[in-house]
Structure 1
Amino acid sequence: MNTGISHITYDIPKIYLNIEDFSKERQINAEKLKKGLGIHKMAFLDQHEDTATLAANALLKLFRQNNIDPKSINRIYLGTESALDSSKPTSTYAVEMVENFLGDRVFKHTDVTDMTFACIGAVDVLQNALDYVKSNPNDKAVVIASDFAKYDLNSPGEYTQGAGAVAMLVESNPKLMSFDSTFGVGYKSEHDFFKPRRHHPINQNSQHLTTDQILQVYREEPVFDGQFSNQCYQDRICEAYFHFKNLKNIQSKLHEAWSGLIFHLPYAFHGKRIFSEIFRLEKDNVASEDVTSNLYDFNELKTVSKTEEYQNLVSEKIRNAQRASSHIGNMYSASIFMSLISELWYKQSRLMSGDKLGFIAYGSGSKAKVFEGQLVKGFSKQLAHLNLDEVLKNRTPISFKTYEDLHRKMRTQSVVRPQNEFFLDKINTETDGLVGQRYYKYAK
């Protein structure tokens, strides 16, 4: 029995910063960011938004747009690296919002939890959901990816920021895409990107502080080495890609069997830049066991990426999947699934049932997974409600000052008043009782 995705929905912030405005203030060449990295707009959370509201909005859309009975759902698992709490899963906040909206304890018997492994966490959730439904073919699972890619002001990663959530229904006899059990994996513990607990900067050098005063705090902004992270991404996906080929016993060029390539995209053009090595390895017929000893230097890969053959590959199998990222930015765990949405939306007139899409996922830390999905008969009926062009168009641009105020959490009012969505109403302080408790509401 086939298992896979039947429905897919998403939610992104209603505001964005134009990369021209960002570049002017940071004295960066805007054309370099647009033409070199594919970055045009950067989605950013409004004052009332967080990863839980994004997840809840995507989840509610999933139920309402597809007339799904919430009581039929056995699992709701969330992949995120932007958790709101070190104990209480962010998924519980999102599910609570939707349950309060729908009423009647509809998720009373639903298993809910988070999974975290940087940007690949939601792929881990998807694999878990697929395995679960294959073992329990009458059950259904929901996969959610929700994240906020936030970097320090004036840092080298600042222009890649973004945010958003994607929700998917996984069930037997799927209506959109089916998957088998084969996942190629590449893993090695690295410190390319992470979010450690850090000493509070105030008085941290004092010799007279108590244990409580030496605070360990969580920050949204990561510690990272961009160049090293790119290398980890490239190394892991090579390992996972050729592992997948070995598991499938594929001797030919794997990418030629795929109608499209779906990447995790830290920035829009990352996929097409990073895949050139695998393209060259397959072109040179390098054996899987020799991959790590036959890697190419930067200049060689740059030459490969400029060839007509590789440019045709990008045009036919990568370009459409990266378009949404250009106008949203990095969505961390949700990025690869927004890449799927972008491919389905912009290429739908040329896709056919039976087409296979290759997924190339990466999470810092570091791990990659490569797998494939196949479009099923009637899949196009699931695409009409995506409305990607309309959603991207109907957002509000913000000034650079507003962006910085939001980044520093200095605003007390939303840029765009919430409407037909969940929003964060309040977070308890020391005088409110349970410190840090979060309260959400729905705005009609």
Structure 2
Amino acid sequence: MDIGIDAIGLFTPHWYVDLVDLAHARGDEPAKYTIGIGQDQMTVTPATQDVVTLAANAANQLPADSLDERLGMVIVGSESGVDESKAAAISVVKLLHLNPWVRAFDIKEACYGGTAGLLAARDFVAAHPDKTALVIASDIARYGLASGGEVTQGAGAVALVVSAQPKLLVLHDDALAYTEDIPDFFRPTGMTVPVVDGHYSTSAYLDFVGKVFARHQSQHHDQYGDYAALLFHLPFTKMGKKALAALAPAMNDADHQRLTERLAAASQLSRRIGNIYTGSLYLSLVSLICEDKTIRSGDRIGLFSYGSGAVGEFFSGTLQPDFANRIDQAGIQQMLSARVRLNVLEYEQVFTAQLPLGDADATVPVEESTARFSVGGRANHARWYRDQQQEKGA
């Protein structure tokens, strides 16, 4: 029985800052960001969006036939949760008016949480082939103003529907994971920004790439020529180039050229949106489908997921005949084109104007965008949310 991704929805907030502007404001050469890091734009997240609303807005972009009575599981993978106890997935079920007879929970393991959710959903559908699962990778990457990681910020969510006989990507039974306890990235409870050793984290990422790919080839006898594209977790797009370069000595020229060209296509949305942590790998998949019109049904795609701390996993899937129609490509381009460019001062003001920490009651101004869901504020210790569609009586 084939199991995999049936449809994908994408959402990112409506504000961004151009990284050439940011480079000038920080006294850096623009090429340091646009070439050295590989980013052009960075999503700026207003106080009206959090991981719950990002997740619900992404799921709202799915095809109309995606979330029906077959839904049996809802998983949110995130490292940006807004509650230490209650799962974001529960709030998503309410906001989307989903079937309440579902299992709903969150998964946390840095940027690997979305992949853990996807593979758990695959196992769920294998045991319950008449059911579907909704997996949403939703995150906000924040490192602080003028910090070393500032240029690798971003926000967004990718919603994945997992089913039997999927219309987008059949997942193969070849997932291989490696786990090692390393101190490359932390965000202790109570801290709003992480503590990261960037050079060590990059080194660890590339070490995991080498180990996982070598063992996968040993166990599954796959070759680089078997893949139409290799996709990577992209905290910044230059990381994908580094990963492919680490594997390049074992490739022939034709494979290297093909995989390099496809990686460039898979990086385009990341260059514009920035780092979305758990969703970054799946943003690459969306980008590949939207930007590269040479890929075809039957092409095998390899996917490498990484979460600091750390877990690395490689798995693969095969594109299905209707894959291009299971993502709202026109809607994605419209969403990105409608975003508002902020100057650096405006970006800094938005960055600092967040819902206050603690549990005091607060109200957030109504968001002026086309997003259906937004944060309304906090009352009686809990966040509450707005549904623009419902408020307009649609």
CA contact (8 A) 2:270 2:284 kept: yes
Q: For 1:61 and 1:283, locate their aligned partners in 2 and report how far apart those are by CA, in whole Å.
A: 38
Which residue in the other structure is 2:375 paired with?
424
In the alignment, what sits opposite 1:55? 55
The partner residue of 2:242 within 273, 296, 303 is 273
Paired-residue identity, %: 29
Residue 261 in structure 1 maps to residue 230 in structure 2: yes
Aligned counterpart, 1:14 = 14
Alignment of 1:277-296 (within 5 A): 277-280=246-249, 282-283=250-251
Comparing 235-244 with 5-14, greater Cα deviation is found at 235-244
**Counterparts of 2:330 and 2:103 in 1: how far apart (Å)?**
27
Q: Is the 8 A contact 1:185 1:239 kept in 2?
A: no
**Which residue number corresponds to residue 172 of structure 1?**
164
1:107 Cα deviation (Å)? 2.4
Output the amino acid matched with 1:145. A
Give the distance between the partners of 1:386 and 1:360, measured in 2 at CA: 27
**Letter of the structure 2 residue corresponding to residue 143 of structure 1:** V
Does the CA contact (< 8 Å) of 2:9 and 2:328 recur in 1? no
**1:341 is aligned to 2:286:** yes
**Deviations 1:18-48 (CA, angstroms, capped at 9, x unpaired):** 1122111111111221122221100011121
Using the alignment, how far apart are the partners of 1:392 and 1:233 within structure 2? Answer: 29
- d(CA) in 2 for partners of 1:239, 1:318: 20
With over 3 angstroms needed to count, the CA separation of the structure-2 counterparts of 1:139 and 1:386, relative to structure 1, is farther
Match of 1:67 in 2: 65
AA in 1 matched with 2:239: H
Equivalent-residue separation in structure 2 for 1:424 and 1:242 (angstroms): 45
1:241 aligns with 2:192: no
- d(CA) in 2 for partners of 1:70, 1:7: 13
Q: Which one-letter code corresponds to 1:81 in the other structure?
A: E
1:279 Cα deviation after fit: 2.0
Match of 2:359 in 1: none
1:35–1:361 distance in 2 versus 1, CA, 3 Å: same
Task: Assess if the C-alpha contact under 8 Å between 2:46 and 2:351 holds in 1.
Answer: no
Q: TM-score, normalised by structure 1?
A: 0.82
The Cα of 1:195 is off from its aligned counterpart by 0.7
After TM superposition, the structure 1 = structure 2 runs for residues 27-426 of structure 1, keeping only pairs within 5 Å, are 27-62=27-62, 65-99=63-97, 106-197=98-189, 218-250=190-222, 254-280=223-249, 282-283=250-251, 312-313=257-258, 315-347=260-292, 349-385=293-329, 387-409=331-353, 417-426=368-377
Q: CA deviation at 1:404?
A: 1.3
Please state whether the residue corresponding to 1:66 is helix, strand or coil. Answer: coil
Whole-Å Cα distance in 2 between the matches of residues 81 and 91 of structure 1?
13
**Equivalent residues of 1:52, 1:94 under 8 A apart:** yes
TM-aligned CA deviation for residue 380 of structure 1: 2.6
Unpaired stretches in structure 1, ≥5 consecutive residues = 100-105, 198-217, 285-307, 429-433
How far the C-alpha of 1:283 sits from its partner, in A, is: 4.6
Q: Distance in 1 between matches of 2:135 and 2:364?
A: 31
Shift of 1:419: 3.3
Q: How far 1:313 sits from its partner (Å)? A: 4.2
Q: Distance in 2 between matches of 1:396 and 1:226?
A: 30
Indicate the structure (1 or 2) with the bigger Cα radius of gyration: 1
Instruction: Call closer, same or farther: CA 1:18–1:311 in 2, change over 3 Å.
Output: farther
Aligned 8 A contact 2:297 2:321 in 1: yes
RMSD: 2.0
Following superposition, the deviation at residue 409 of structure 1 comes to 2.2
Check the 8 A contact 1:160/1:267 in 2, yes or no. yes
Q: For residues 214 and 205 of structure 2, what CA distance do their matches in structure 1 show?
A: 14
Structure 1 residue matching 2:61: 3-state secondary structure: helix
Matching residue's letter, 2:174: T
Which consecutive residues of structure 2, in runs of 5 or more, have no partner in the other structure? 356-362, 390-394
2:358 equivalent in structure 1: none
